[in-house]
């Protein structure tokens, strides 16, 4: 595939991924504001943007490998985010006195190491054919196995803030 096309696929993937997440947030806001029809529209468009993003990702060379390769890639990405990316974001937010962003970046960094642990464990689970359910904190992104904790160990959110992923 031509170099520009490959670069453009990466750009389109990122743009569609952002649009999907943004529209999902808009849907939640519309729902809480009492506009269920608008919420459904935002949700439908969010899903459509996700379809576009997945399509572009499939077209990008070398981005999706075997499950074993994907776990290793995901593990490495979590480590990189924790060690290389979040420290700079945290420093900038701290230097600029942006407490809310500092808190969000710090919690995300802390959660990244948990994600890395889960990927490492997943390889063993895959070999043992172990079925695990996960609970995701909808405040900070912490992932718990098998049961939601009473309070999130990263942000303190209550159990009700965890979403089951089977």
Sketch out the chain's domains with CATH numbers. 3-59 (1.20.1260.10), 65-130 (1.20.1260.10), 131-166 (2.20.28.10)
pLDDT of 50 over the 60 cut: yes
What pTM does this model have?
Answer: 0.75
Report in angstroms the alpha-carbon separations of 161 from 23, 87, 107, 112, 139. Answer: 21, 27, 15, 19, 7
Per-residue confidence (pLDDT) for residue 122, from 0 to 100? 87
What's the pLDDT at 47?
A: 92
Question: What is the predicted pLDDT for the residue at 129?
Answer: 74
C-alpha triplet 135, 146, 149: angle, nearest 5°: 60
Tell me the per-residue pLDDT of 69-118, one tens digit each, with 9 for 90 and over. Answer: 999 999 999 999 999 999 999 999 999 999 999 999 999 999 998 999 99
pLDDT at residue 1, rounded to an integer = 57
Other beta carbons within 10 Å of 154: 18
Q: What is the pLDDT of residues 126-146, one digit of tens each?
A: 777 778 889 999 999 999 999
**Cα separation values, 82 from 22, 56, 63, 99, 107, Å:** 24, 26, 21, 19, 11
Strand partners, 165: 134
């Amino acid at each position: 595939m031509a170099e520009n096309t490959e670069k453009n696929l990466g750009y389109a993937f990122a743009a569609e991924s952002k649009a999907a997440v943004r529209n999902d947030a808009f849907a939640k806001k519309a729902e809480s504001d009492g506009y269920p029809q608008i919420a459904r529209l935002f949700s439908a468009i969010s899903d459509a943007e996700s379809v576009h993003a997945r399509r572009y990702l499939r077209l990008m060379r070398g981005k999706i490998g075997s499950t074993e390769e994907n776990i290793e890639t995901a593990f490495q990405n979590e480590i990189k985010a924790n060690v290389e990316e979040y420290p700079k974001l945290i420093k900038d937010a701290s230097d600029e006195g942006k407490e809310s962003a500092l808190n969000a970046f710090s919690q995300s960094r802390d959660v990244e190491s948990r994600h890395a642990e889960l990927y490492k464990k997943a390889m063993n689970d895959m070999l043992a054919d172990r079925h695990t359910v996960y609970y995701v904190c909808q405040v900070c992104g912490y992932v718990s196995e098998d049961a939601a904790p009473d309070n999130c160990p990263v942000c303190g959110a209550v159990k009700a803030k965890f979403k089951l992923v089977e």
